[in-house]
Every structure is written in structure tokens, then in C-alpha cells.
A and B are shown apart, each in its own frame.
Chain A
Amino acid sequence: MSKINFLKPDRANLNTFLYLGSSLFFISFLDVFFNSFFNLNLTGFLPNFLSFVLPLVLGFIGLYFIRIEYSGIKGLDLLNKHINTNNFNAVLSLLIIFVIIKSIPPILSWFVVDASFAGDSKDVCTGTGACWTYIKVWMRRFMYGMYPNAEQWRINLSFISLVLLGSVGYFATDKFKKYLTLYYVVIYPLIAFLFIFFFISGGPVFFDFSYGIIAAILSIIIGFFIPGRFKFYYFLIVPLALYIILKYFLFFEEYIELGKLDGLNWVETGAWGGLSLTFIISFFCLIFCFPIGMAFALGRRSGFPLIRYISVGFIEFWRGVPLITVLFMSAVMFPMFLPEDFFIDKLVRAIIAISLFEAAYVAEVIRGGLQALPRGQYEAAKSLGMGYWKMHIFVILPQALKLVIPGIANTFLALVKDTPLIFVVGLLEIVGMLNLAKTNPEWLGFAMEGYVFAAIIFWIICYAMSKYSYNLEQKYKTDR
């Protein structure tokens, strides 16, 4: 009995083992710590191999000594329960702890300690660490691509306004909450489109933008006096009509030609780039792929066989080919299919290609949600006398979309992560700009910094999106 207990702690000799075990564990910890932070090999007097594995062995014995079913000491019990359940887990825990300790100094020194931040030429980057000067000098290019420096405030202003307009939902009072769907589905994308296309693109078309803004504001103001039951149709028709009236009947183009109004410089889409292009493409594809995907999801579940086959064909085709070949198609094959002297901008072509591609994935996700709804929902809606569209808009889709929030979020994440592929059509967003900067003869050899920088940015965007979708999922979770 006592012999077995010699190596196994129980409550009687707990303290002995506790002191022994934790000191052994501490020694092993110290050994690795000194080795990694101060480059000091405490066990250097031992043979090479033994010196290498000694901390592991010591730590393992230490952890073995302090492993006890229940000790009553809170910290110890937590430790035992979480990292020290059995021998195998103890070894793995030790390995992970050592790997973390070992990897902190090189990472820290590369990122901060030996890195250079100051200056604005390559000469300051002499240390062994990262050269963040490179990022600093190229920052504008990474963010805005070849967009002229003097005009970049337009991109900033557009994005800031769009973010502000997008956050309306958080501040809306209950009275206006019911218009939010309309706002986000119809008005907001329209405003965003006007902003990005006319404001960032500039040129004479800038005036279309101002007409659009005036039309939107006017229609919203008048909208308050429209009786509720006509509001949907009102917002569907009136803003567009106002816009057309303003453009073609009120603000004569002569004003521009007379020089009374000075437009913004036109910046061609080929000069757009950097992170702002990533946002623009993601945003538009996100807006377009959702309704297309929803249409094909409904088509795939439609009762009409021909519509069903066409939808299946569409979905399976886009899901079966890689995005890069789709972009190839949009770059080299698609112009062949258009009438001569009919030109579509390559950014627009890329956006169409990515939207169709992602729409197929969105369609499959939404179909999953539609299939998951019990038949009773369809039958109940029908028994109330609802038609196909009424049933889907008021009963089926709200429930189905709620179910597929995680799937939709994953598709959108994939979309954001797919945007770098537009290098195929010759557009350079942030990764493309990095590759360009990397080959600049004055700044050779800083590929690592650039990629790490872009990776951090993308990681933050994608992680924030996935966390947001998780919150959304929790918020709309309903028991059925």
C-alpha cells in the first residue's frame, strides 16, 4: 500500500507531492524560459540530447506528482481538470506551453523589437526585424491603388457616408423600424451605387449623383405623407421617377457646359485598387448575388419542371467550376459574346462574374433553409388563401432566411476572401498591389512584411464578420 502510494499523491501526503511536483514543473519552465528569452542553456553541461528533452521529462514528472482526484485547493483542481487529466494530456500540454514560450521571442523581435518604423526610405531597414517603413511608404497604394493622391478624399468621404447611412438601423426608433427592410433592400444599395459609381468615378456623371441624392431626399420627405398601404409601391416607383425627371427635365446639361458647375475629375476604374477596391467589389457582389441566389433557390424548388431544370443547371454549372476560370471567361471569352463596339468596363465584368458565381452558392444555402422548414408552414399559408408570392414573402422566406444566417455569412466570407482573384482580369486590389510593390526595384526583399500586413487586415475583417454573424444567429434564434 505504502509502496504504491509512494509515487501517487493522496490527501495525506498532498503537501509533499505538491512542493516536489510544482518545483520540478517550475524548474522545467525556467529552463525553457531562460533558453528562449536570454539564450541561456541552463542544462548545457548535460549531453546534447538529454539537455534537449530534460525540461519535458522534469515537467512530466512534476505534473504526474501533482495529479490528484480532488485536493480541495481550487487552483490545483482547475489545473488538473483542464490540462493535466492523464499522462498523454500532460505531455501535450507541456509541449504546447514550451512551443509558445519558444516562439514568443522570435515573433516579438521580428514584429516590434528589431523592426524599423521611422524614416521613409529603404535605408532605415537594416535590422533583422520587419521593415514597417515599407508599409508606411506604400500605405496609400495599398489602400487606394493607383487612385490619384489628390482625389482620395472622395473614397474616404464615400465610405464614411456609407458607413453612417448603414448604421441608421441602430438609431432608428420603433416608429421607423418597419421601414428598415425597405431602406436596406432598396434605398441603401441605390445610394451606395450612386456614391461609388458617380462620386468615386467622378467626371461629368458626377451630376447624376447629385440628382440621385436630391431625388432620394425628396422622396423620403414626401414619403411621410403617403398612406401606409401605398408606401411600398411609392418607394418602388417615385425615387426613380424623380431621378429621371431631375436628370432629363430640370437640370439642363447646359449648366455644366457653361462652366457654372464644376465637375469632379474622372478616374477610370483601371486606376482603382487596394483595399478600397476589395470593399467595393465585395459590397456590390454581396448586393447582387443575394437576390439572384434567392431567385434560383426558389426556381430549384419550383413546381414547374422546366424552370427547375434551368435553375439546377445554372447552380450546378457555377458550383462546378473554379472562380478563376469564371474570371478568365469574363476577361477573354465574354467580350466575344457581345455585339461589336459594345464595351463593358472590366470592373463591371468582374463584378458580374463574381456575383453569378456566388449566387449559385447562396442559392444552395437558401435552398437548405427552404427544405428545413416543415411542410406545415407551407400548408398553413396556403390554407389561409395566400398565393405563391405572398406565401413566400410573408411566411416562408422570413423563417428560411433566419435559419440560414450562418450559411449566408460563410458565403459572404468566401466572397470577401475571393476578391484577390480579380488579378486575373488585371485589377489590383490589396494583394495585387503587394505583388506590384514587391517587384519595385527600390523596395526589393520586403515580401514578408507586405503579406503579413495584408493577412492581418483580412483576418480582422473576416473574423469580425464571422463573430457578427454568430451574434446575429443568436439574436434571431427562435424555438420552433
Chain B
Amino acid sequence: MNLKLKDIVPQLITVIAVVLIFGFFTYNAQINMENRGIDFGYGFLSQESSFDVQFSLIEYDGSHSYFRAYLVGLLNTILVSVIGIIIATILGVIVGIARLSPNYLINKFAAFYVEFFRNIPLLLQIFFWYFAALRALPLPQDAESIFGVFFLTIKGLYVPAFIWQNFSIFFYSIVAAAIAIIVIRIHAKKVQENQGKQIPVFFISIGLIFILPLLSFLIGGVRLSFEVPVLKQLATTSFIYEGGVSLPPELIALTLSLSLYTATFIAECVRAGIQGVGKGQKEAAASIGLTPNQVLKLVIMPQALRIIIPPTTNQYLNLTKNSSLAAAIAYPDLVLVFAGTALMQTGKAIEIVSITMFTYLTLSISISILMNWYNKRIAIQEK
């Protein structure tokens, strides 16, 4: 009896404390809302939003609902995060490997990069790129083209747009290629385990991924053309580019600073991972006659990845969460569109802030579930 009481009392106290705190907050919130004449509810989501967003991936204007505004913000957040993650991973892996280079200069150069960008607040870097560096770009009429098709101006980066005909067929051909590659890989593994024969999966995959889409162009009737941005004069001193896709400077500043910043952390993860593989592993692999490439592919990388992936996942999560700093430079992400403009207009603080937080929570948890699944797949199978 005594033992049980000892177990129950601390838990009971904690739970009562938590319940009391929450109860206190809810009680106050109810009274406050009653006094101010605000009613609680998510009905406002279907009302007309009547504000505009300057950059959106889906069709949107003031006549759409608040829910659609939320979607616009969410998609913009995801866009920045995905681009940032891709660039940061590539840069981080390169820098991480460079830090292990025996070449003194490359090594120090990578170390300098990491120490430099890691120790400056991200917000400051975003401000720097947006307010100082990108403002020094030329006006549209003075911009020089890059390869004749890209235009980097103070109003953003203009890139050619793809114009597809029968895009669905092309898409299906890529899906088909991907499925075929997976089937062949499974088959090849089976063949190797049963008969010891090796099938050159890599070359077959490369062939498939090129040939199938190519076939879709040749016989499927898929056409691809580019729409190059063209300079157009609006008034005597005002020029814009028409056609193509325009990426606003906010997006560029944000992705640039996010990826430069996060890449430093990923580089450290990669370095730690590769250093974490014992020297004996490399020597053992070399002594049983594997080529240097095979040593890297079959022995070092699988083991290094196990060390690299968990901290790198954290960095991806951080990048996604840090993308909310977009609000500081008026890039219309979730925080700015929803927790900023929509909140100002409706005054529904509790609902909107809770939806925003819940969205980020969902994003974070889904990325970490995905990465945990991958991590489990490559983890050591202990018997």
C-alpha cells in the first residue's frame, strides 16, 4: 500500500497542476473573449479574405476564402523548405567532404566557410541578402542576361518557363521508368543471392530513365518549348520582363540564406559521419580486394549514413522551421499570410496561432516520421 501511494502521489500532483494551469488559462480566455465580444470558432475560414498575396503557387486573389489564403501560405513555406533542403544538402555534402580533404587549402577553405556562416544569426543573414546584397542588383533595363535566358534583376530572377504538350504522357513515362528500375533492382538482388550473378543495375537504370522519356517525345507526341522572358517598357522609366517565370527577390534571399546557413550544419554532420567509420573498416575492405570505389560505396557510405542521417534530419526540421523567418522580409509564407495579415483582419488570435502552430507541428512530425522510417531501414539489423 505504502509503495503504491508513493507511486501515485507525484503523478497525481503533476496532473492536477497541469490541469489547473490549463483550466486557469481557458477560464481567463473565456472571460476575456466574452468581455471583448469575440466568439470562438473556425467558421471564419470559409469567409472571403479580401486581401491579396503577391506570390502564390495556386490561383488566389482577394475573393477567395481564408482557407485558400492558408493554403497559399503553406505551399509557399513548403516551396522554400524543399528548395532550401535540396541546395543545403548538396552544398553540405560537398563542404563536409572538403573538410576531410588532405589538401590543406581546401580543408581550411571549407572550415572557414563553416565557421563563418554558422556563427552569424540567420535573421541577420536574411536581412543582409535581402536589404543589402540583392538591392545592389541592376534594374530590369540594365540587367545582363546569363546564357541569354536568365535575367537577374533587382525585381527578382527571371527564368524561362517550360511549355509542355501532353505533359501527362511524359509524366507517366517517368513513373513507368521508376517502377521498372525498382523491379529490376529487386530481381537483380534475388539473382545475385541465388546464383551469384551480378546484373549491371546501374547502367540499366540510367538507360531506362533516359530512354523511356525520350520515347515519349518521339512517339508519345510530347512537345517541350521554352518561353524566354522579354523586356517590355511600361512607361518611360519603368520596365518589366514578360513571359517566363519570375522568382521574387524575397524567395531568392530566403533560400540563399537558409541553404547557406543550414549547409554548414549538414557539413559538420557529414564530416562526423565519415570520421565515425573506423579506419579498420577501410583497411579490411581494401584487404579483401575491393576497389576504392567499392570500398566507398559498399563499406564506408552505408556505415557513415547511419551516423549522418539522424542529425541531418534535425537540420531539415530546423530549416523548415527557420523558413518562418520569411515574415521578416515579407515573403508570403504561412506566418506572414496567415498569422500576420489574416490575424490582423479577423482578430481571431487563438484560432489562427493554434492552426499555425499545429501546421508546423504536423510538418515537423511528418518529416521526422519519414526520416525515422528511412533510418530504421538502413540501421544495423541486430539478430
A interface residues, Cβ below 8 angstroms from B: 81-83, 85, 89, 92-93, 96-97, 304-307, 310, 316-317, 319-325, 328-329, 332-333, 335-340, 413, 416-421, 423-424, 431, 434-435, 438, 447-448, 451-452, 454-455, 458-459, 462-463, 466
Contacts and interface: CB of A to CB of B under 8 A. Distances in A.
A307 B339 contact: no
Interface of B: 7, 10-11, 14-15, 18, 25-26, 28-29, 31-33, 35, 101-106, 109, 115-116, 118-125, 127-128, 131-133, 135-136, 321-322, 324-325, 327-328, 335, 339, 343, 349-350, 353-354, 356-357, 360-361, 364-365
Contacts of B364: 319-321
A325 B335 CA distance: 7
B25 A420 contact: no
Contacts of A92: 103, 105-106
B332 to A, nearest CB: 15
Contacts of B104: 82-83
A256 B231 CA distance: 73
Contacts, number: 155
A328 B33 contact: no
Contacts of A333: 349-350, 353-354
Nearest to B107: A82
Contact of B350 (A81, A336, A338): A336
Nearest to A460: B119
Contacts of B356: 325, 328
Given A304-B11, A325-B324, A451-B132, A96 B106 contact: yes
Contacts of B325: 322, 324, 421
Contacts of A438: 131
Chain A residues touching B, majority SS: helix
Contacts of A323: 321
The interface centre, meaning the residue of B14, B119, B327, B364 with most chain A CB atoms within 10 A of its CB, is: B119
A419 B122 CA distance: 11
Given A97-B105, A423-B328, A451-B132, A329 B353 contact: yes
Given A322-B324, A332-B349, A459-B120, 11 more contacts: A85-B102, A89-B102, A92-B105, A96-B105, A321-B357, A325-B353, A325-B356, A336-B28, A336-B29, A420-B121, A451-B132
A386 to B, nearest CB: 16
A454 B128 CA distance: 10
Contacts of B365: 316, 320
B119 A463 contact: yes
Chain B residues touching A, majority SS: helix
Contacts of B10: 304, 307
Contacts of B122: 417
A337 B353 CA distance: 13
B121 A418 contact: yes
A451 B129 CA distance: 10
A170 to B, nearest CB: 25
B15 A322 contact: no
Contacts of A328: 335, 339, 353, 356
B185 to A, nearest CB: 31
A322 B339 contact: no
B119 A447 contact: no
Given A324-B335, A333-B350, A431 B123 contact: yes
B123 A340 contact: no
A405 to B, nearest CB: 16
The interface centre, meaning the residue of A324, A451, A455, A459 with most chain B CB atoms within 10 A of its CB, is: A324
Contact of A420 (B26, B28, B123, B324): B123
The interface centre, meaning the residue of A321, A322, A448, A462 with most chain B CB atoms within 10 A of its CB, is: A322
Nearest to B38: A336
B109 A455 contact: no
Given A304-B11, A338-B28, A322 B360 contact: yes
A186 B67 CA distance: 50
A304 to B, nearest CB: 5
Contacts of B28: 336-340
B77 to A, nearest CB: 10
B298 to A, nearest CB: 23
Contacts of A96: 105-106, 109
Nearest to A430: B124
A389 B114 CA distance: 41
A431 B324 contact: no
Nearest to A446: B132
B360 A83 contact: no
A75 B335 CA distance: 58
Nearest to A85: B102
Nearest to B328: A423
A466 B119 contact: yes
A337 B327 contact: no
Contact of B106 (A93, A310, A424): A93
